[in-house]
Amino acid sequence: MAILKAPSKKITTDKVEFLFKKKNYLIIIIGVIFLVIGYFLMSGGSQKPDEFKTDEIYSFRRITLAPIVVIIGYVIVMVGILKKPKE
């Protein structure tokens, strides 16, 4: 009969590094804040569900400003993800 040895466990003290650096996370957080603000600008409207006011729905804030802010937010998040950290 063969004698089986239990594999020895090696304890390693390797330093765990995050995928992104602090600056990348800061840029991503700023982008997410822009996204939240943009979606907040799109929301709102009539308090009563059976009421339909075209001047509120088709306002400059909802049709022009909010989508621009959302697109800027997505671009900032992409920059935060793609930015290569300095070594």
pLDDT tens track, the chain, 87 positions:
667 776 777 777 778 777 888 899 999 999 999 999 999 999 876 666 667 677 777 889 989 999 999 999 999 999 999 998 776
What pTM did the predictor assign? 0.72
Domain boundaries, given as residue ranges, for the chain: 22-82
The count of other CB atoms within 10 Å of the CB of residue 22 is 9
How many Å apart are CA 52 and CA 82, to the nearest integer?
43
CB 24 within 8 A of CB 85: yes
The count of other CB atoms within 10 Å of the CB of residue 66 is 19
Map residue 83 onto helix, strand or coil: coil
Dihedral class, residue 53 (left if φ above 0, else alpha if ψ from -120 to 50, else beta):
beta
